[in-house]
Amino acid sequence: MIRLTLPYPISANRYWRNVTIPGRTMLVPTREAKEYKEQVGWLCKAAGIKAPIAGRVAITIRLYPARPQDWAKRQRTQGQTWDDTVRCIDLDNANKVLLDSLKGVAIEDDRWVRRLHCDRMEPDEKGARVEMTIEALAVPVAVDLFAGVA
């Protein structure tokens, strides 16, 4: 199992841009997206990842938004739901950016993700970040229940 702490992801809206080549328009990653992916690559290398996990994987993502300066006031006035008002990237957008960033570095491709669990966490003193685990999944072995039965 791989455990990673990554920087807070950029928005999917800032991850892609349209490029028009005569007669054709396509989406390409922005410079900011390339920089984020490079940073994730270096952090994966620092975590000891030498090659991407081959095949099926399960990924757990815990997204921690930045804690605002007035968090204590929000907590007093709004109670347990104070963090609902904190600015945070949508989980689905975060997933796309994170999985694209891990492609070819920690996992072969996001098509191999068989289980994805995501949580938006309460902001804390450690700052905006993503904590994740990546686990290789065994391929189920088919058993012939009638083998050897006459």
Query: Is residue 148 included in any domain, yes or no?
Result: no
φ, ψ dihedrals at 79, nearest 5°: 75, -145
In a domain, 143, yes or no: no
Residue 35 lies in a domain: yes
User: How much is the pLDDT for 149?
Assistant: 64
Q: Is 124 among the domain residues?
A: yes
The rounded average pLDDT for each run of 10 residues, N- to C-terminus, in the chain (150 residues) is 94 86 88 94 94 94 94 91 90 91 94 95 95 91 66
Category of 127 on φ-ψ map: left (φ > 0), alpha (ψ -120 to 50) or beta: left
CATH code of residue 70: 3.30.1330.70
Residue 150 lies in a domain: no
Q: Show the domain range for 117.
A: 2-136
Q: Quote the pLDDT of residue 112.
A: 94
Domain annotation covers residue 131 = yes
pTM of the entire predicted model: 0.83
Q: Are 17 and 30 in contact (CB under 8 A)?
A: yes
* Per-residue tokens: 150: 């006459």
Number of domains in the chain: 1
Q: Is residue 118 part of a domain?
A: yes
Across the beta sheet with 2-6, the strand order is 2-6, 129-136, 57-64, 113-120
Is residue 144 in some structural domain? no
> Residue 147 has what pLDDT?
66
